[in-house]
């Protein structure tokens, strides 16, 4: 989605996988201990996400996610496996909740049980909570935010980022049979279909997407209000992530969603400015 800005990644597999992403940019400005913890969380999320996005039999992928659930339960019982070893220190140092790790696995399971197509708003909100806001709830503890404001920030920023991802990845998701645009938005746009190829070819697609844009803007605005009252150092990384994704959202709104939907790419100067603004200014 974004061009590489930082060219010297940490010598860890998780950092290597993240390098070149807006996530990597934001994490690089954190102190070492927080950065290591966040890359451990990232590594976990990537592994379960890879299972969800694999093309193998569903029962096999569900079994792999169930094994991850067992490993997380064991981690909190004091028993480590090779793939949860990196999580042990962040869990202990920052008091990370087991329920949030399990929620992420539950969200990936939603993608495996059946290809999501035109979910209702409540089902989409649950999905966003599990795959995005749960990650946020882990992250805000690492950032050092107070519990109430941190939980609220995770709720709103997580949903804002995920809704932006949904709009950005319409064609990529459709290629594997998924459509995350909510049923109610399609109905309001008079699109009587849930088949991804049919929906994405509809001349009313931009109308349906406009509802998702409004929802994402609401969550971005609320997240900004929360961060404006938080200690500056604790919200540098989420502010950077929010700025990058908000810019992508607004550029998609300007571009529209009629085919061909050219990818939104942020230039290096703009990315460097975002880094400078939230890391140093």
Give the model's pLDDT for residue 279: 65
Write down the mean pLDDT value for the chain: 90
What does the DSSP assignment read for 127-193? HHIIIIIHHHHHHHHHHT--HHHHHHHHHHHHHHHHHHHHHHTHHHHHHTT-B-S-HHHHHHTT---
- On the question of pLDDT at 8 being above 80, the answer is no
Dihedral over Cα of 104, 108, 110, 111: its sign: positive
- On the question of pLDDT at 9 being above 50, the answer is no
Q: In the structure, what pLDDT confidence band is assigned to residue 22 with cuts at 50, 70 and 90?
A: low
Other beta carbons within 10 Å of 5: 18
Give the model's pLDDT for residue 16: 44
Q: Mean pLDDT, to the nearest integer, of 167-180?
A: 97
The three-state secondary structure class of 58 is helix
As a whole number of angstroms, the distance between CA 219 and CA 121 comes to 15
As a whole number of angstroms, the distance between CA 112 and CA 68 comes to 14
The three-state secondary structure class of 202 is coil
Which comes out higher in pLDDT, residue 133 or 272? 133
Q: What is the pLDDT of residues 210-236, one digit of tens each?
A: 999 999 999 999 999 999 999 998 999
Cβ-proximal residues to 149 (8 Å cutoff; 6+ apart), any chain = 226, 229, 230
The answer to whether residues 247 and 270 touch, using CB atoms and an 8 Å cutoff, is: yes
Which comes out higher in pLDDT, residue 271 or 145? 145
Cβ-proximal residues to 281 (8 Å cutoff; 6+ apart), any chain = none
Beta bridge partners of residue 117, listed in sequence order: 179
Give the model's pLDDT for residue 238: 93
Give the model's pLDDT for residue 19: 39
- On the question of pLDDT at 160 being above 50, the answer is yes
- On the question of pLDDT at 189 being above 90, the answer is yes
Q: Mean pLDDT, to the nearest integer, of 89-108?
A: 98
Instruction: State the alpha helices, DSSP H only, in the chain.
Output: 13-18, 22-28, 32-53, 58-76, 85-94, 98-113, 121-128, 134-143, 147-168, 170-175, 183-188, 196-200, 205-228, 236-255, 268-279
The fraction of the chain above a pLDDT of 70, given in percent, is 89
Q: Mean pLDDT, to the nearest integer, of 132-153?
A: 96
The answer to whether residues 164 and 245 touch, using CB atoms and an 8 Å cutoff, is: yes
The residue among 234, 116, 121, 250 whose CA lies nearest residue 183 is: 121
CA dihedral 108, 58, 200, 184 (to 10 degrees): -60
Q: By CB neighbour count within 10 A (0-12 exposed, 13-18 middle, 19+ buried), where does 103 fall?
A: buried
Give the model's pLDDT for residue 24: 74
Cα-based distances in Å from 264 to 92, 164, 258: 39, 12, 14
Residue 111, both tokens: 């993608």
pTM to 2 decimal places: 0.90
Give the model's pLDDT for residue 273: 72
Q: What is the pLDDT of residues 231-262, one digit of tens each?
A: 998 999 999 899 999 999 999 999 999 999 99
The answer to whether residues 29 and 244 touch, using CB atoms and an 8 Å cutoff, is: no
Give the model's pLDDT for residue 18: 42
Domains of the chain, first to last: 16-279 (1.10.600.10)
Q: Mean pLDDT, to the nearest integer, of 197-217?
A: 98
The three-state secondary structure class of 12 is coil
């Amino acid at each position: 989605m974004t061009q590489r800005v930082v060219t010297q990644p940490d010598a860890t597999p998780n950092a290597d996988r993240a390098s070149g992403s807006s996530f990597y940019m934001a994490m690089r400005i954190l102190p070492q201990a927080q950065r290591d913890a966040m890359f451990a969380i990232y590594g976990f999320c990537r592994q379960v996400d890879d299972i969800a996005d694999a093309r193998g039999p569903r029962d096999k992928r569900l079994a792999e996610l169930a094994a991850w659930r067992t490993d997380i339960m064991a981690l909190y019982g004091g028993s480590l496996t090779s793939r949860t070893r990196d999580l042990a220190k962040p869990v202990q140092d920052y008091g990370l909740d087991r329920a949030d790790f399990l929620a992420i696995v539950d969200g990936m399971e939603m993608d495996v049980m059946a290809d999501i197509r035109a979910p209702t708003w409540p089902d989409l909100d649950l999905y966003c909570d599990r795959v995005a806001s749960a990650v946020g709830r882990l992250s805000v503890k690492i950032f050092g935010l107070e519990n109430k404001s941190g939980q609220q920030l995770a709720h709103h920023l997580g949903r804002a980022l995920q809704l932006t991802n949904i709009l950005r990845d319409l064609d990529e998701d459709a290629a594997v049979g998924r459509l995350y645009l909510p049923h109610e938005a399609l109905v309001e746009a008079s699109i009587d279909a849930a088949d991804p190829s049919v929906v994405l070819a509809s001349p009313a697609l931009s109308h349906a997407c406009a509802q998702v844009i409004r929802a994402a803007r609401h969550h971005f605005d609320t997240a900004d209000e929360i961060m404006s009252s938080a200690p500056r150092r604790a919200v540098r990384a989420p502010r950077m992530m929010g700025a990058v994704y908000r810019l992508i959202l607004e550029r998609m709104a300007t571009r529209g969603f009629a085919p061909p939907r050219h990818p939104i790419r942020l230039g290096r100067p703009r990315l460097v400015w975002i880094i400078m603004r939230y890391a140093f200014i």
